[in-house]
Amino acid sequence: MASASLQRINALKKEASLLTKKLWKSSLKSIQAIALGNAVDEVRFSKLEKLQLEKPTMLPVNRDDELKSRANYYYNYAREQIEQESDIFEMLDWSLTVGYKGDHVEELSSSTSFTKDQIHRYFYFLRKGEEQRLYILRKYKFEDPCPTSFDSSRVDALEDNMLRTLNAEIMSHAIDDKAYSSHEDSMGANTEIRVESALERIFSEDRNEDDWDAK
């Protein structure tokens, strides 16, 4: 694989890494926000405390624990989502897309569709992570602390560039492999022609059985 191509692939990986880190950072800020609570939480806690007075057997309301528990739940959930994205991206090892043997391409070590599926899965989780971050904020009536953190056009552009680069690499190696195969076929055909010519010269000579015995 050419050096320029490797540089492009590394640049795409770096961009994906930056987008994932941006999502993680905005997720953490959102979790920090819901951990502090808001006016809606205050109303909810007040109702629970009033209900507790009416029902003494009811467990007491602990605001700090409630808010902390909620924040920890979404922290673990967000972390799991980010790890899924990271694991998929690590699987996108472009050097494994094509197998080499000597100076030519031997075979595809992983199918094209599978590698494309990995790319689609990565961007699915990236977009899903942002959608769920916004959903949680809306659910608990919080303002978005990072309204401009997720750039959809930037995500779309990266996905398109990854797929284009992948397809170009596969096509390039397929052409190289075809050229190598054609060269091998040509060499084999030339060898057969030389052998056949030699045999024709031998058997075209005017020889009788005595001559053959003499040999």
Q: What is the pLDDT along the chain (215 residues), one digit of tens a residue?
A: 455 677 887 888 889 889 999 999 999 999 999 999 999 999 999 999 899 888 888 888 899 999 999 999 999 999 988 887 766 656 544 443 333 333 433 333 333 334 787 888 889 999 999 999 999 999 999 999 999 999 999 999 999 998 988 888 777 765 554 544 554 555 554 555 554 554 455 445 444 444 434 44
* Direct distance between the N- and C-terminal alpha carbons of the chain, in angstroms, rounded to an integer: 56
Q: Say how far residue 196 (Cα) sits from the centre of its chain.
A: 53
CA separation for the pair 167, 162 (Å, rounded): 9
The three-class DSSP label of residue 111 is: coil
pLDDT value at position 119? 87
Report the candidate in 23, 31, 29 with the shortest Cα–Cα distance to residue 84: 23
141: phi > 0 → left, psi -120 to 50 → alpha, else beta; which?
left
Task: Give the separation between CA 10 and CA 15, rounded to whole angstroms.
Answer: 9
